[in-house]
Amino acid sequence: MSASTPVEQTPAPPPGSAQPDAPAWPWLVAGALAGVLGLFVATWATSALTARASPVEAMAELAIELTPGQAAVAAVEATGSLDKPLLIGGIVLVAVGACAYAGLLRRRSGGLSSGLLAALGVLAGIAVVARDGASLTALAPVALGLMTWLFALTVLTNPLARAEAARRGGAGGAGGAGGGRRRLVAHDGGRRSFLARAGLAVLAATGLGIGSTSAAQDRRQVDRVRRSLTRTLRATADVTRGTVPAGAELPLEGLGPWRVPNQDFYRIDTAIVLPEVRIEDWSLRIHGMVDREVTLSFDDLTSGRFGDAFEDWVTIACVSNPVGGELIGNAWWSGVRIAPILAELGVSADADAVLQTSVDGWNCATPLEALTDDRSALLAYAMNGEPLPVEHGFPVRMIVPGLYGYVSATKWITDIEVTRFDAVEAFWTERGWDERGPIKTMSRIDVPRSGAEVSAGEVGLGGVAWAQGTGIERVEYQLDGGPWREAELGAVPGVDTWVQWSARESVEPGEHDVRVRATDSSGYTQTRVMKDNFPDGATGWDGLSFTAT
């Protein structure tokens, strides 16, 4: 380029002309912060008003009710006991994301932005009304959360709107360098004002979060009462902790405990909000096809009216448990057998089912014969020598050996109706699940873990097997496609618990495969046919690969 070649200059925009758009992220942040504040206010209001569930929890409960059975099982299989926290987290993320988008919409149209937030509030209100009715206590958190969204979004976006107006030069735009400086000062002032307000919003959200947590903790009086009951139950109902039978736990490193501690016991239910039932408020109504109905209190069950506590080892399982899964556990249960109570009330000869209902409205239909035969079906109020944990049904739940939980194990039970299967539909059976729900004979490999690396030479193999109501006769394993060999079995007190199995094999370096199968005392050997959980439980042999080095 020669020295005489003119250099083109980009002309400065004339005074008052539109400037390039400001970045969108502050509007998104403003919307998201408003959303978080609204959710925290709604949660705080739920605690302060002692409402049963927050709007987010009500939406999660409604989502569970509307989810088809197979989809629900797929979610449980994929997430296990994290299903509810993940559902809650997903709803929160969607809500905050929608609020962020509402913030972006506010840049162009305040009406569209407010309309989106109002639609979210209406959805939350529908969920709350569907679960708790149109009471002031139930709907107030929704209203307060929505008002917080709208107010916070206005407060946070006003500085952004002023800054953007200044950046574009306003409606008429002052000309000259002085006007440009004024616009720059106004723009910077708006940005600083937004950042200051955003910081205050973060502090407010943090404070509300802490306040909500504290309020929630204050509501845990039920759990404190539950813990204080331990000594009372041991004195008045002769509740014991149970002693693990000698030989039940095999000496193989990596095998879990034969008795599953309460804090490690699997939890599967539809309750987003754990029912907090006070003992003095709890009652159990037994009615329907009986000669006379009765309403029992907690004292009726624990004061000796039906004798001392009936106690037994029982392994319970969820129908969602996949082959090799861990939605199963063994515990020492204490309570009152249901069979003598039903006999005392006089059950109709035409009845064949019992509809159990929980405090939260969940229900299941149980074969009547499973509650009246000689198995240990009981109204349980203690687990491993302690009052039931809240998450496992405090104050009273049903335990029925040999049946999957979806047709038997009602937590927080409050109603028993003696009826007929052809007269009722329950939560899971109306979604296509099997009516009777007997637990299948199954086995599982726990040692080694899938994909584990072990030292070549002698290795331990082991796990558990179960056939509640029948009992396990033998467990066999197959290594690298070789012959089936019988494993050693642990001792068990009866047919209603799982049994540990173990074996030792010598392996060469390299990759190895192992499979397991169980045979129950009726002579039935579990099928190798792999089938998923729907509609009556999974089948197939558990198998895995490991590497010896």
Q: Tell me: the pLDDT tens digits for 365-390?
A: 999 999 999 999 999 999 999 999 99
- Cα 519 to the chain's mean position, in Å? 33
- Stretch 411-432: mean pLDDT: 95
Domain for residue 238, yes or no?
Answer: no
Return the pLDDT at 238. 80
Q: Nearest 5°: phi and psi at 191?
A: -65, -45
Tell whether 357 and 456 lie within a shared domain.
Answer: no
Query: Does residue 216 or residue 534 have the better pLDDT?
Result: 534
Return the pLDDT at 44. 83
Nearest to 194 by CA among 217, 167, 221, 173: 167
Domain for residue 482, yes or no?
Answer: yes
15 pLDDT band (50/70/90 cuts)?
A: very low
- Stretch 342-364: mean pLDDT: 96
Tell whether 349 and 426 lie within a shared domain.
Answer: yes
Return the pLDDT at 156. 84
Instruction: Specify which residues 397 forms β-bridges with.
Output: 380
Instruction: Specify which residues 507 forms β-bridges with.
Output: 457
Tell whether 148 and 288 lie within a shared domain.
Answer: no
pTM attached to this predicted model: 0.76
Number of domains in the chain: 3
Return the pLDDT at 100. 92
Number of other CB atoms surrounding residue 366 within 10 Å: 25
Tell whether 76 and 203 lie within a shared domain.
Answer: yes
Contacts of 239 (CB under 8 A, 6+ apart): 233, 309, 311, 334, 382, 385
45 pLDDT band (50/70/90 cuts)?
A: confident
Residue 341 has pLDDT above 50, yes or no: yes
Residue 310 has pLDDT above 90, yes or no: yes
Domain that holds residue 473: 442-548
What's the rounded Cα separation, in Å, for the pair 70 and 378? 29
What's the rounded Cα separation, in Å, for the pair 415 and 356? 6
195 pLDDT band (50/70/90 cuts)?
A: low
* CA dist list (Å): 422 to 58, 76, 352, 429, 437: 31, 29, 9, 12, 16
Return the pLDDT at 25. 86
User: How high is the mean pLDDT of the chain?
Assistant: 86
Domain for residue 120, yes or no?
Answer: yes
- Stretch 40-68: mean pLDDT: 83
Residue 114, CB half-sphere, CA atoms under 13 Å: how many? 7
Query: Does residue 235 or residue 421 have the better pLDDT?
Result: 421
Q: Please calculate the CA angle 393-334-280 and round it to the nearest 5 degrees.
A: 50
Instruction: Specify which residues 343 forms β-bridges with.
Output: none
Return the pLDDT at 526. 98
207 pLDDT band (50/70/90 cuts)?
A: low
Question: What digits encode the pLDDT tens for the residues 16-25?
Answer: 444 456 688 8
Beta strand spans in 257-412 (E): 283-288, 294-297, 310-317, 328-337, 353-358, 363-367, 378-383, 386-387, 397-399
Tell whether 127 and 271 lie within a shared domain.
Answer: no
Return the pLDDT at 210. 54
Return the pLDDT at 196. 60
Domain end call among 431, 450, 484:
431
Tell whether 372 and 465 lie within a shared domain.
Answer: no
Query: Does residue 538 or residue 166 have the better pLDDT?
Result: 538
Tell whether 384 and 453 lie within a shared domain.
Answer: no
